[in-house]
Structure 1
Amino acid sequence: MQAIRQHAFGPAENLSYERTEDPEPGAGQVRIAVVAAGVHLLDAAIREGFKGPLPEAPALPMTPGREVAGTVESLGEGVARLWLGKRVVAHLGQSPTSGGYAELAVTDVDRVHEVPRNLDFAQAVAMIGTGRTTMGILQFADLGPESVAVVPAAAGGIGTLLVQYAKHAGATVIGLAGGPEKVARVQENGADLALDYTDPGWPEKARAYLGGRGATVVFDGVGGEVARGAVGLLGPGGSHLVFGWSGEGIRDGGPLIVEGVSEQVLGPEMMRRTGGSNPVRTLELRALAEAAAGRLTPDVTRFPLAEAAAAHRALENRATVGKVVLEP
């Protein structure tokens, strides 16, 4: 099979498109002919040698990728034959070396979900990872017609879904994005007001639009000055929900802490709030159900698998919208 291989830490050019051995499914596993594989900003950081949540940098050479969708083409021992030929999506695990950037991927059948009929494979990949995280975040926000939600990075994968969900709940939504093209996408996605956060005057425009109302929640995956401006829109009792800080640099940044603001930095808390024996799968099922019902429709930026390096560069340079996906 063809796969992306990384032999040394460093720039995106270290991702090479190579022929390698086909993986074989073990007991309780399936092999998936991959049609779409998810890409994360954290993938790019780990590519450079950043350990992130890992105890140590991954061993090389490796094939990155933790989310795939495609068709089951081979079964390991003990797997029911009904899985053969099914359209599926799966999160392969938290390891950055899980092997998703490839034409074939192996995973435990217990990780697999059938793809809803109204989703293509790339959209399914978006919902199994980005959608799952979105469902986790939304557990901390009681959205309704009286809510005013501010979404920095509203053209990103999670931001796109947060805007849609908040609008479906009847909330007023202010979406922020960088540059006119992304702002237009946010407006098309349903935001009541879409603003360019590279414009220093955007907070004043938001206040004028709200006419004295305060925001009730800021969904913050950016941090930095954009988050500071968004938090400044919160009214009494408003919440600042932090789930990332890409604007500060994922490698060495940290969440923006604002004194006097009700703030939650989300991480393991999402799993604890979900509860149950398998909270990750519970959130995946919720995300896929929302998409199947048409309430959430992920936006996707697609690259050929062979152009994984270009996908990483575009993601790092904020030149993408929605979820970034590789297609063999």
Structure 2
Amino acid sequence: MRAVRLHAFGPAENLSYESTPAPLPGPGQVRIAVAAAGVHLLDTSLRKGIQGPPTPLPELPTIPGREVAGTVDALGPDTDPAWLGRAVVVHLGFAPGGYAEYAVADAARLHPVPEGLDPAEAVAMIGTGRTTLGILQFADLGPDSTALVPAAAGGIGTLLVQYAKNAGATVIALAGGPAKTALAAANGADLALDYTAPDWADTVRAHHPGGATVLFDSIGGDTARTALGLLAPGGRHLVFGWSGGPLGLTDAEQDALTARGVRTHHVLGPAMLRAVGAPDPLRVLETRALAEAAAGRLRPAVRRYPLAEAATAHRDLESRATTGKVVLEP
């Protein structure tokens, strides 16, 4: 089969498109003829040799990728034969192997691809979708809410905008450049602003003087620091990333937020899983995400690349040149 392999940690150019033996499924496993493989920002860190807790660094050489959709073409021993030939989507967990024409997965983790979703959309929902719904457990959105969404044209940001609008909230979307702000507006944002413009915060204050009730913070850095100043008293600051660098609040800034009753919640990891309140919380969130997409309430934006162009996909993702979920297609 053809696959993308990493032989040494480093730049995107280290991703090599080459031939390698197709994997064989073990007991309780299936092999999937991959139609779409998800690319995550975490993949770029692991490629560089930077561990992203709790995901360990892979042993080299490795085939990156932890989200795939396609058709089951082979079964391992003791695997339900009903899976053979079915269109499925799965998150592989800590086991990589997605950037390939074939991938192996535990049958217990499979989901049927809902009717009406193509493989790339299903891949977006199995990873990015489940994370989005996990974050939203802490948002308490409704008609009285005003949601401030930086990175609103990204994979998670796109879904947050849609969900907030479905909940009746007012949505202020931030994105970099006119194409991305146009996408956020098309997804339903009431106000879509370019956060690279120097006066974006003044525009928010002019349109929404009461402030936002919740800030979905995936970026940190200067943009998030400015956005925190736009939260209403008692607002929620939901942190699930820091792509723009650390927040770096001074003691005085933190004291001012505390005085206004602004609450910061780090919502990924154990906090998100505990909030689900189920024995297998990740599967619960995956099931919910796929159901939301199947019902048409959430529609992921997808940026597609040929499998052979995985290095380009990594470079574009790292430089913020993409919108939506980045997906490789063999």
User: TM-score of the superposition, structure 2-length normalised?
Assistant: 0.95
Q: Which residue of 2 aligns with 1:274?
A: 276
- Matching residue of 1:222: 219
- 8 Å contact kept, 1:242–1:255: no
Match of 2:182 in 1: 184
Deviations along 1:229-278, whole A, 9 cap, x unmatched?
21111111100000000111xxxx46868622210012220001112110
Q: Provide the identity percentage.
A: 66
AA of the residue aligned to 1:15? L
CA offsets 1:280-324 (integer angstroms, 9 cap, x no match): 000000100110110000000000000000000000010000000
Whether the 8 Å CA contact 1:160–1:322 is kept in 2: the answer is yes
Q: Which runs of 5+ in 1 are unaligned?
A: none
How has the CA–CA distance of structure 1 residues 118 and 255 changed in structure 2, closer, same or farther, with 3 Å as cutoff?
A: farther
Cα deviation code 1:83-138 (max 9, x no counterpart): 1111100001124xx10000000010011000111110000000000000001000
Partner of 1:244: 241
How far 1:139 sits from its partner (Å)?
A: 0.3
The amino acid that maps onto 1:319 is: A
1:291 to 278, 281, 293: 293
1:62-87 CA distances to partner (integer Å, 9 max, x unpaired)?
A: 10000000001111111122111111
1:58 to partner: Cα distance: 2.3
Query: 8 Å contact 2:301–2:323 — kept in the other structure?
Result: yes
2:275 equivalent to 1:308: no
1:126-275 matches, within 5 Å, as 126-210=124-208, 212-248=209-245, 253=246, 259=254, 260=258, 261-267=262-268, 268-275=270-277
Within 2, Cα distance between the matches of 1:116 and 1:56? 31
Structure 2 partner of 1:84: 84
Contact 2:138 2:267 in 1 (8 A): no
Q: Distance in 2 between matches of 1:56 and 1:256?
A: 30
Distance 1:306 1:99 in 2: 15
Distance 1:265 1:54, change over 3 A: closer
Inter-partner Cα distance in structure 1 for 2:211 and 2:49: 42
Say which is worse superposed, 260-269 or 217-226, in terms of deviation: 260-269
The code of the aligned residue for 1:121 comes to: P
Hey, what's the Cα distance between the residues in 2 that align with 1:227 and 1:80?
48
CA distance in 2: counterparts of 1:278 and 1:255, whole angstroms? 35
The CA deviation at 1:57 is 3.4
Q: Distance in 2 between matches of 1:275 and 1:160?
A: 26
Aligned partners of 1:245 and 1:255 also within 8 Å: no
* Structure 2: stretches of 5+ with no match in the other structure: none
Q: Distance in 2 between matches of 1:56 and 1:38?
A: 18
**Partners of 1:291 and 1:57 in 2: CA distance:** 32
TM-score, with structure 1 as normaliser:
0.95
Mapped contact 2:55–2:94 kept (Cα < 8 A): no
Q: How many residues align?
A: 321
Instruction: Return the alpha-carbon distance in structure 2 between the equivalents of residues 312 and 112 of structure 1.
Output: 26
Match of 2:323 in 1: 321
What one-letter code is carried by the residue in structure 2 that aligns with 1:16? S
